[in-house]
Amino acid sequence: MNRALFFIIPPFAGAVIGFITNAIAIKMLFRPLNPIRVFGIKLPFTPGILPRQRKRLALSIGAMVERELLTAEVLRNRLANIDVKSFQGIVTEFLRRDDVRKEFESKGRVLMRSIFSKMNALQRFFVSAGQYDQTIEQKMPEIVDELISSVESLLREDRIKAKILAAVDNQVENILISIDIKTLVSDRIDSLDMERVEKIILDVMADQFKWINVFGGFLGFLIGLFQSAFTWFFR
Buried b (16+ CB within 10 A) or exposed e, 93-129: eebeeeeeeeebbeebeeebeeeeeeeeeeeeeebee
Question: Structural domain tally of the chain?
Answer: 2
- The pLDDT assigned to 132 comes to 64
The reply to whether 28 and 98 lie within a common domain is: no
The reply to whether 181 and 210 lie within a common domain is: no
Q: How confident is the model at residue 164 (pLDDT cuts 50, 70, 90)?
A: low
- Residue range(s) defining the domain that contains residue 110: 72-187
Sequence-distant (6+) residues with CB within 8 A of 155 are 87, 88, 91, 92, 161
The reply to whether 17 and 40 lie within a common domain is: yes
Percent of the chain with pLDDT over 70: 81
- The pLDDT assigned to 64 comes to 81
208 DSSP assignment? H
The reply to whether 97 and 155 lie within a common domain is: yes
Q: For 68-100, write each residue's pLDDT tens digit.
A: 777 777 777 776 666 556 666 777 788 788 888
- The pLDDT assigned to 18 comes to 86
The reply to whether 78 and 108 lie within a common domain is: yes
The reply to whether 77 and 67 lie within a common domain is: no
Q: With 80 as the cut, is the pLDDT of residue 167 above it?
A: no
- The pLDDT assigned to 193 comes to 78
The reply to whether 27 and 119 lie within a common domain is: no
Q: For 112-154, write each residue's pLDDT tens digit.
A: 777 777 767 766 666 676 666 677 777 778 888 888 887 777 7
- The pLDDT assigned to 87 comes to 67
